[in-house]
Structure 1
């Protein structure tokens, strides 16, 4: 579910809202508002889920963790940064950060992560989580909260996606330390709790919107925390619908290819569609304004998974089997390397 929200956000911000709409309709604004309202949920929940599945990995010895998680995720980040840089060079007007020279590429590789920042953040988070294993949980989470609050309040220099790295360590660690709590929240999910959580969440979002309060110190991590509980509750309810649960679980096991492939594919789709859609007649634009975000999100996810079946494994895994824990029996089933079990 998280990865579909990521793709939807990029579809909205980098393509849908860039169309030159000739019709007067509230639909475009509604889609944009929906994307904004999901901001506190999308990446915080993504990282909380990653932390949830990282428990066993963090307990492994340093050499194993360094090879199977840290080296793997940084390798994937560096590899796909090269691929994105090459592909996006052919779509210079596409609205995403790209390296247009060696110095910017070096910066994205090291200190100012690109739109692939989730991968580099995971590599860093695994190191931090392992390093603080013997530190009291309250101290670790307190420090992570302070970092998140400071970054979201605009008190740190956060070029590129560095702010996301600072803000989301808290949620990765929360998922790591709160695994049993998350399991209980999902198991006891109810529509009543979803409603009870939805009301304060909507209220907090209203405060953020009306008072431009995202930079109020500590508010954004709190809003994101409420969003995570709301998201876990919703996931627990969806898990009871078998066909939907199976579909989302299948996508969840193959998060990585969708994450790394969807942006260059979206850039190419945007290049192909932006002019025809901007010049389309009112009837066509009405249909597009209502349906395109969902249709394009689903299409991109499907296309990523199709390509994943045929692309070399070295694009998604550390070569030579280095990313596989020797304590885990080999599997013949190809699943996403983002799984941190």
Structure 2
């Protein structure tokens, strides 16, 4: 399928030749949620980002959230043929309810932890409202899934070139609104979500060929090219002395931004190569997931995590705050990597924090099984649409996650 011939009504799911290879979407979600938890654990522990495990996890930066959004788009093809009522019933309702209920809870306890133990000012009503409505919080993935599905539905009858133009035109807003996280994340992840939707048949065929030498070489080459582009981008940002060509490009950038009523700094410009890096890294991510599906215990574990991403997504943040933060971190944690006792070493505390995060996910999973309380994660069908079959909530919701600090 060529992008130029793309039409929103065309994507159709094709039956995979080998069912086991279609385990890869669950494995993709499992890798992503595991990487997200490890990232937040590393941010919670002093020196955590310098550990070997964290450094290995950083290699997933181009894949962590892109895999989530691509798989979410992969399962959003039905939106193209739905009415708005069907869209709301089968998707938006199941994103909005957990976000509305759990985001204020997480914001409150996260802020309260800082207030009690570090003396940070309590959160104001304005801070809570801004964090909630602009989604600068731990559960931002649910917020963006809602927006992206609405965009997909609203543009479903447009030709491919028009959709691509709309997405690309968001860059015209960057000079004036580049500091808005909502715009930045949309610019990076909306194209990836749409790739999952409109290139689903191509993705399926690619996954079926993921064990062939040619596919492996292409995937690895694209991933390495993405890493190289990232290094070049960072080098250009941090260079002290710019040559004539770089200075000319910087002036061109500034003139362009001025015409659009703002300015673009190096961090904001980095979103362009960042988006390219994430897109060209997707083949390697798919290939990795297909290969992991062949490794029995590892594949089974990642599939299990991938099928329970919603409770892990919601619960790991609360586990880090309520279990680790309130009960352990500020009462017992002491980091001294030169100490003889291993209980003062960063890797040990990384393990403790990770266990607390996963315990939070398990407790939220158990809560989802409690009548009425479980509706906060998987709400009941809407009464006025109750005659329709129950949506596959696990498939719809368990594509998400993560949080502040996720790149």
The two structures, once aligned, show a CA RMSD in angstroms of 3.5
1:5 aligns with 2:35: yes
**CA positional deviation for 1:128:** 0.7
Name 1:240's counterpart in structure 2.
294
Query: Map of 1:259-278 to 2, 5 A cutoff?
Result: 259-268=313-322, 269-271=324-326, 272-273=328-329, 276-278=333-335
Unpaired segments of 5 or more residues in structure 2?
A: 1-30, 238-265, 400-407
Query: Map of 1:64-213 to 2, 5 A cutoff?
Result: 64-92=86-114, 100-147=123-170, 156-160=177-181, 163-190=184-211, 191-212=216-237
SS in 2 for 1:172: helix
Of the candidates 293, 304, 326, which is equivalent to residue 361 of structure 2?
304
Rate the CA distance shift 1:106–1:176 in 2: closer, same or farther, 3 A.
same
Could you report, residue by residue, the CA deviation over 1:247-275 in whole angstroms, capped at 9, with x for unpaired residues?
21221111111111211211231452355
SS in 1 for 2:63: helix
**CA positional deviation for 1:223:** 0.6
SS in 2 for 1:38: coil
SS in 1 for 2:397: coil
**CA positional deviation for 1:150:** 6.0
Unpaired segments of 5 or more residues in structure 1?
A: 20-26
- Give the Cα separation in 1 of the matches to 2:296 and 2:341: 36
Could you report, residue by residue, the CA deviation over 1:222-281 in whole angstroms, capped at 9, with x for unpaired residues?
111022222112111112223322221221111111111211211231452355232575
**CA positional deviation for 1:218:** 2.8
- Give the Cα separation in 1 of the matches to 2:55 and 2:297: 29
- Give the Cα separation in 2 of the matches to 1:86 and 1:324: 34
Of the candidates 43, 59, 72, which is equivalent to residue 81 of structure 2?
59
**CA positional deviation for 1:289:** 3.5
- Native 8 Å contact 1:317 1:337 kept in 2: no
Name 2:261's counterpart in structure 1.
none
- Give the Cα separation in 2 of the matches to 1:194 and 1:208: 21
Name 2:276's counterpart in structure 1.
222
- Give the Cα separation in 1 of the matches to 2:230 and 2:185: 19
Aligned residue pairs total 327
Q: TM-score w.r.t. structure 1 length?
A: 0.81
Rate the CA distance shift 1:244–1:324 in 2: closer, same or farther, 3 A.
farther
Name 2:68's counterpart in structure 1.
46
SS in 1 for 2:106: helix
**CA positional deviation for 1:177:** 0.9
- Give the Cα separation in 1 of the matches to 2:47 and 2:345: 13
Could you report, residue by residue, the CA deviation over 1:178-218 in whole angstroms, capped at 9, with x for unpaired residues?
11222222222245444333321321222133223762473
Name 1:317's counterpart in structure 2.
378
- Give the Cα separation in 2 of the matches to 1:154 and 1:29: 37
Rate the CA distance shift 1:17–1:242 in 2: closer, same or farther, 3 A.
same
- Native 8 Å contact 1:150 1:156 kept in 2: no
Could you report, residue by residue, the CA deviation over 1:123-154 in whole angstroms, capped at 9, with x for unpaired residues?
1111110010111123313432443x567x77
SS in 1 for 2:333: helix
- Native 8 Å contact 2:184 2:271 kept in 1: no
- Native 8 Å contact 1:68 1:322 kept in 2: no
- Give the Cα separation in 2 of the matches to 1:241 and 1:287: 35
1:338 aligns with 2:361: no
- Native 8 Å contact 1:316 1:337 kept in 2: no
**CA positional deviation for 1:325:** 7.8
- Give the Cα separation in 1 of the matches to 2:83 and 2:146: 15
Structure 1 stretch 275-284 or stretch 101-110: which is displaced more? Answer: 275-284
Q: TM-score w.r.t. structure 2 length?
A: 0.69
